[in-house]
Amino acid sequence: MARKLIDRLTGKQSAEDVIRGLEKTKADLEAKLPSLEAAKAAALDERREALISGVEAGHAANRARQAEDDLAAVADALAEVERRLTDAVARRDAEAAQAEREAVAKGLEDSAKAIVAAAKDMAAAVEAVAKAHARMQLAVSAKAAPQVMANRESLSPVQFADGVLLEALVAALPDIGVRADLYPAHYTRERTVEGRSAADAGAAAAERLRDIATEVRDGHAGALAEWRASGPRIHASEPPAIPVHPSACFSYVDHHGQARRVTPLDCYLPEPVAVAAVAKGLAEDAPSIATQTARNQWERKREATPAENLFDRVEVTDLGVDLRALAEAEEERQRTSARDAEAVARAELERRAA
């Protein structure tokens, strides 16, 4: 209404008003055509008869030209009206299409703004949930975790916190359709999660722990399971063997703590042993005259000497390499690294819960 009022006050017509005006003008002009065509036909007949009769035809000729001009003028005006009407309809349709596109675009922009606002709210809510999840993990001690539910001796604090969170999520959003192995044990499997409020889950766990605490205090409880983080597997593998060419006899302690003697006939040794032997001049990286000579000498000694006397009067140098000690040092390094990683994870959990 306001737009039409402004158009009337400013002299600007809407597309629909222009089209209605042109359609009316077209109808008016079309209504004139039959009478103008009849007048033209009559004027032409009159001029023709005057010429045939040989009478003065000037007036008849003037009337014929006037009738033709009148008809041609209306036909020309009608053609122009039709052209303008076609243009007006095209403009109206284009404006309508643009208005529709603008409405769709505006709706998308409004939705984008609403999504950003909702995303901020959801991010804040998820941050609060993450903090509560961390607090739940901290609340459940390693001793308490296996006791919060029956037959869950291997349950960890994070698994309990995960279960409470998923049940609470389903309780708040029943149609979300979550499947998980809640509070896992050796016989459990993935299933559809049923909703339960975090308050109810916490109350049930707390009641069970209080009952067990009473049994412990009265001396009626057996040994309680305690959850321990599995952590990474601590294992120092045996070092790879690499080619080497000994020129003398030497010894080292192997991965199992056993003393091993090396002769010039050995050509593959654990890498730390080979590296140390080369560094001390007891072996070489590549064959040489010295290593081949030592090999030949040892071959002759082995052929001429019983196995039990093979090392008699032979100097065996202690290489000073203990592979078992190296493995134990590596395993201790791994344990230290695991403890450091656990401490970092604990600190991060406490930070999230703060």
Residue 154 tokens read as: 């291997």
Could you read off the pLDDT tens digit of each residue along the chain, which spans 354 residues?
Answer: 434 433 443 346 788 888 888 888 888 888 888 888 888 888 788 788 778 887 777 887 888 788 888 888 888 888 888 998 888 898 888 888 888 899 888 888 888 888 888 888 988 998 899 899 999 999 988 888 888 887 777 888 888 899 899 889 888 888 888 888 777 776 667 778 788 888 888 888 888 888 888 888 888 777 777 767 666 777 888 899 999 999 999 999 999 999 999 999 999 999 999 999 999 999 999 999 999 999 999 898 888 878 777 787 788 999 999 999 999 999 999 888 888 888 888 888 788 777
For 152, how many CA atoms within 13 A lie in the half-sphere containing its CB? 22
Which residues, 6 or more positions from 269, have their beta carbon under 8 angstroms from its beta carbon?
241, 242, 244, 246, 262, 277, 283
Threshold 0.75, pTM exceeds: no
3-state secondary structure the chain: CHHHHHHHHHCCCCHHHHHHHHHHHHHHHHHHHHHHHHHHHHHHHHHHHHHHHCCCCHHHHHHHHHHHHHHHHHHHHHHHHHHHHHHHHHHHHHHHHHHHHHHHHHHHHHHHHHHHHHHHHHHHHHHHHHHHHHHHHHHCCCCCHHHCCCCCCCCCHHHHHHHHHHHHHHHHCHHHCCEECCCCCCCCCCEECCCCCHHHHHHHHHHHHHHHHHHHHHCCCCCCCCCCCCCCCCCCCCCCEEECEECCCEEEECCCCCEEEECCCCCEEEHHHHHHHHHCCCEECCCCHHHHHHHHHHHHHHHHCCHHHCCCCCCCEEEEEEHHHHHHHHHHHHHHHHHHHHHHHHHHHHHHHC
The CA dihedral of 267, 269, 273, 274, to the nearest 10 degrees, is 40
Which long-range contacts (C-beta less than 8 Å, at least 24 apart) are formed by 171-176? 171/195, 171/196, 171/197
